[in-house]
A and B are shown apart, each in its own frame.
Chain A
Amino acid sequence: AQSVTQPDIHITVSEGASLELRCNYSYGATPYLFWYVQSPGQGLQLLLKYFSGDTLVQGIKGFEAEFKRSQSSFNLRKPSVHWSDAAEYFCAVGAPSNTGKLIFGQGTTLQVKP
């Protein structure tokens, strides 16, 4: 069965510092991978996705993620964090055999210190 683990429940970084949010997945073949962001009381917005091809994926708001098959990981990165990046971040995995359903991680809450 597919699963997604986000090891860090809460992360605090200083504004201007770099950021890396971890995501590990469990799936037998190459999965379809997503990162979403959620501001408090809002819906989810897609940051980026990986289906195939280049393992380094660029997204919106200056985010990128790298798919590493050997580590079953899809970590999200940003070189310099802005205060407006404070939000909850969700990693999700989908499989072609799973009728389009996505499995979401538990989320990582990012706090940005001024």
Chain B
Amino acid sequence: DGGITQSPKYLFRKEGQNVTLSCEQNLNHDAMYWYRQDPGQGLRLIYYSQIVNDFQKGDIAEGYSVSREKKESFPLTVTSAQKNPTAFYLCASSVTSGTVNEQFFGPGTRLTVL
């Protein structure tokens, strides 16, 4: 079945550690996105990538980093510079870049800082 997978589902991090969230899609989509979701704030865009080996900052990129070495994969690293990383993280993809299309979402990763 085609879709988007995110792992792990739950992730615990100690303060000062970097952690990487996985996002993989087999939909052959060009564009991929990372969102952060906090209660009452909707979804906020962290980073997005329209094509392999290229990505752009979203609205809240500080303290995060990404890579897009393969079309199928768009991992997100939450660095120690992110002061309040506890949140629900959602990855999404869409068919083409540069125009508006439906975004397909993964099941999410809940990150908790201990």
Measured CB to CB, the nearest residue on chain A to B45 is A101
B79 within 8 A of A: no
Closest 3 CB pairs of A and B: A94-B100, A43-B105, A32-B100
Q: How many residues of A contact B (CB 8 A)?
A: 25
Q: Does A11 contact B (CB under 8 A)?
A: no
- B100 and A46 within 8 A (CB): no
Q: List B17-70 residues whose CB lies under 8 Å from chain A.
A: 31, 33, 35, 40-43, 45, 48, 50, 56, 58
Chain A residues whose CB sits within 8 angstroms of the CB of B96 once the complex forms: 100
**Does B101 have its Cβ within 8 Å of any Cβ on chain A?**
yes
Q: Which of A36, A43, A44, A96 contacts B100 (CB 8 A)?
A: A96
- Chain A residues with CB under 8 Å of B100's CB are 32, 51, 94-96, 98, 100, 102
Contacts of A107 in B (CB 8 A): 40, 42
Chain B residues within an 8 Å CB radius of A41: 88, 108, 110
In the bound complex, residues from chain A placing their C-beta under 8 Å from that of B48 are 99-101
For residue B107, CB closer than 8 A to chain A, the reply is yes
In the complex the two chains form, is B31's CB within 8 Å of A43's CB? Answer: no
The distance in angstroms between the C-alpha atoms of A102 and B31, with both chains bound, is: 12
Residue of A nearest to B31 (CB): A100
Does residue B82 face the partner (Cβ distance < 8 Å to A)?
no
Nearest residue in A to B9 (C-beta to C-beta)?
Answer: A41
Would you call B77 an interface residue if the criterion is a C-beta within 8 Å of the partner chain's C-beta atoms?
A: no
Contact of A106 among B4, B40, B50, B98 (CB under 8 A): B40
